[in-house]
Chain A
Amino acid sequence: MKIRVLILFVACLVGSACSEKKKDHLVIGVSMLSMQNEFIQQVADALEKSAKTANVELIVVDAERSSLKQVEQVESFISQQVDAIILNPCEFEASSPAVEKAQKAGIPIVNVNSSTKSKPDAFVGSDDAESANMAMELIAKHLNGKGNVLMIQGYMGQAAQLDRERGAKAVFAKYPGLKLLASQTGEWDRAKSMSLMENWIQSFGDQIQAVFAQNDEMGLGALQALMDAKKKAQVYVVSVDGIQDARKSVEQGNLDATLIQNAEKQGSESLRMAVELAQKKKIKESNILIPFEIFQKK
């Protein structure tokens, strides 16, 4: 994919008239948080698919989790004079300049999946708080509103972590019988979360009744630790994102549930919004929330 971008870029340089010539199709720049993340990859795939049917040319770049890089990427989109930008922000605050710069240059920008402090022309995504809320409700229901829960957080301070924490806390407030035994960061990482869960098993032992992990990678790490310690049977584990590994694990009866963020829909909707904005169409709703789906074994 990067190579394709490079070729496009070189082609542009060689042609050099490419920005002046009237194009017969729209060009949209896309900067994604990290192509190493399976879910983001799925969103990118959906974007590509919709772009093909809409005859839109996409320039997809990977910010590799660096908001600095992301801002630079958007700057280069602006200088290439793309028709619209789709941004999958790395950070709530630090990716904001990207949005501001695009708007200053008069290029419509759509945030997909997560938000930034500066308001874009449109937002397509799911409410992170809602996913955590739904996951915790599942746990509450399973425990009949009473029991001990552990929460594995994402990278501290990231928008997704903050929102998911907020959503989960709301459920704790609603059910006074639910007790948060401990919460620590698993840094979105499977190996780190596995170690964290092993340590928690040492310190809480049989008190643990449920685990909420803020993404599937961490949920799967915790699950592995519980299975190795032969404690899975008494602990209910829910995570969010619905990546393939997690769904498979649910089907095998290991992970209890995951919440699917609809990558397909996030991709196709954000492309639709970007195209409409580029064509200067009037849009009715600038904040499109794609609902989560609960994925659990029947």
Chain B
Amino acid sequence: MSFSYSGSPILRSVNLRLEKAEIHALVGENGAGKSSLFKSIMGIISPSDGEIIFFDQRIHGLSVREILGKGISMIHQELMLIPELSVAENIYLGRENSAGGHMSLAAIQRSVQALFDRFGLDIPVDVKVKELSIARQQIVEIMRSVSQEAKLILMDEPTSSLTDGEIQFFTRLIRDLKEAGVGILFTSHKMEEIFEFADVVSVLRDGEMIGTYRTNEIDAHVLVEKMVGRELKDFYPKADVEVGEPILDVENVGLSGVFQGINFQVRAGEVLGLAGLVGAGRTDIGQSIFGIRPYTSGEIRYLGKRFEAKHPSEALEAGMAYLGEDRKELGIIPEMSIRENMTLGLMRMFQKMQAILFQAEKKATEDNSDALRIRMAHSGQKIQELSGGNQQKVLFGRMLLNMPNLLILDEPTRGIDVVSKFDIYSLILELKKAGKGILLISSDMTELLEMSDRVVVISKGSQRGELSKQEASPARVLQLALHA
């Protein structure tokens, strides 16, 4: 199975070779050309020149339907299942009347059950798809491709919406598919999973194929350098920063029914990491400090004074900044411009008697955007048109505008590309150098341990311990986090 390909302004002379039953990762920054490549293979867009060969057959120029017939299928990020139909019906959707006449529902169910048995899946075939978790829905979609006798499946960020447990399940399925002789080409931003289950990784940058490497012959660091196109001294930049006065003192703080007895201190020029499993109460602690869900017991001192925010605006005015864990839900207003998103909640700085000072707002946001290297057409562009990483930078811009002393960062790099991640880590270091205090909440263990000066571990709403940088190993943190 091989194909080569060239031409078009988005993709230039891309050559990619895929062996039978190979798991092949495709990496690159947003806009590097990954989805264009996928679309070309599927016949959705046609390349200006070059050729795509699949099992010795030229397939470029064929229609999408014909390519599907050849045994190539694609799993989109947005699943294309019909929620109201059963699992079996979804898998056979549009093929109930294929060769051999009309298939009864019972026949469809039997055939799907046999397929599931082959892969050891315990998903009931007769439930409605909407009742399944996202991960299981994704498996149903993959099984649809398998049932169509796909020999190559393209997957666009297949794990982006899966939880850790679901990813393991997914990994097993991928291996089983490989056993069954199916080739997989997938995109991902997550280094761990690339090395966990890909055999081969290809790097695209600005529409060019940089190279293809066996995953056992390359390490993450080098791979990122290939993607970014420059040397990264350290993916998690560090510097010696002198720790100053305490900024935040959290003493025996609790929120009834959610967490209790939390004690820690954040000082100027340091990053305090908050570790724990999802749902342990880390996010709630951050939100309590910031006044989103005001705490109900204990005491918080901020810059030496007793502090209790009843509303986020009070925390903002006191010089705090907050980044929510879910960018879409707690961060951006998709329909509004980059500028309007960056100054949201801070309009008191850009108004005179309620009238907006547009010039001042524009200048401040554009200066900020330049400093943060936000890739955009202009600051009046809608934020939803930006990539995840750039959206996140806009939210950082919002925090910086408030000139904060304390930043509460909940999952600051979730779901963003690797270059933006690096930029954000560099920024956190800058903030540290400038004497800010940072409270970092993250599920990415490497990130948390690399970036934090000290780590507080939370489990089931209680504090399980505080570890210095030297003490904080993944094993130690996990041991505390799993504390019953």
Report if A and B touch in the complex (beta carbons < 8 A).
Answer: no
Q: Which residues of B contact A (CB under 8 A)?
A: none
